[in-house]
Amino acid sequence: MTTVYQLLAFLRRDWRLARSSSIGLAWQTAAIICATPTIYYLGRLVRPGMPSLTPYGSNYFAFAVLGIAASGLIASVMGTCATAVRQEQVGGTLDVLLRTPAPLPVLAAGASLWPMLLALAQALLYVGLGAVLFHLNFAGANLVGATVVIGLAVVVSAALGLVSVAFVLLFRRTEPFTGAMVGVGVMLGGVFYPVDILPSRARAVAQLVPLTHALVGLRLALLRGVGVSGLVSPILALLAWCAVAVPIGLVVVRWALHEARRSGTLSGFD
């Protein structure tokens, strides 16, 4: 229960900070409300029956909404911990925070909890607006399959985000990796268009991008009702990424933390 109380303490702190700047939340909500019909009307320009959309139900609007919602969530998970660490550095409180009894994984999860919940709410708002205003049909969706896929994608993204945390700890600068990884994911991962339409070499590279497999699995589960047994390929790809990214991320961030403590540069800014 101690871990739960520690995570709730982080959540209460970040909620109070968010309430003090509610205009930001309102602006983000308004942006999503405006973006959803834009995607819908752009989708009407895509001719029905395109072969590359057939595996996902041939509905471009549903394809794009899920791509944007899921990629936004994954991008937030990837960058949120590094952003939180940088804020603590600038505020001069990182060293104090690391001296608390909470273990490092709990501190990382706690610092990321509120932004992740906010990103999840934004993703659900995209999907909800699509369903309510533009009649997206998720009646046959397989929620178990979708949950497994998005859960694995979140683990991979959080592990990759630890590399960004290591950069912040070592150089006390805003990290450049999240933006680069998100850009590659948007270009090759199938957010706005199916990977099948890319040139052959780009398709081969896209198979190395975790977002590619996450979106394939999520769309098949939500738009075609495919269960876990039918999502073996994307699930295995994400599991392979977990097996590689999680231990590397933990080793790198622990090493960076050790170096920052040794050099006495945990807090503060240049």
Spatial neighbors of 226 by CB under 8 A, at least 6 apart, are 142, 145, 220
pLDDT on residue 83: 83
Q: How far apart are CA 83 and CA 87, in angstroms?
A: 6
- Give exposure, 23-39, as e/b (b: 16+ Cβ within 10 Å): eeeeeeeeebeeebeeb
- The 10s digit of each residue's pLDDT in 212-261 is 999 999 999 999 999 999 999 999 999 999 999 999 999 998 898 888 87
Task: Indicate the SS3 state at residue 37.
Answer: helix
pLDDT on residue 26: 74
Please count the other Cβ atoms lying within 10 Å of the Cβ belonging to residue 62: 25
Length of the chain: 270
Residue 141 exposure: Cα atoms within 13 Å on the Cβ side: 17
* Residue predicted with more confidence, 238 or 50: 238
Q: Any idea where the domains of the chain sit in the sequence?
A: 2-263
pLDDT on residue 7: 64
Distance, C-alpha 209 to centroid of its chain: 13
Residue 8 has pLDDT above 90, yes or no: no
Which of 124-128, 187-191, 233-237, 261-265 comes out lowest in average pLDDT? 261-265
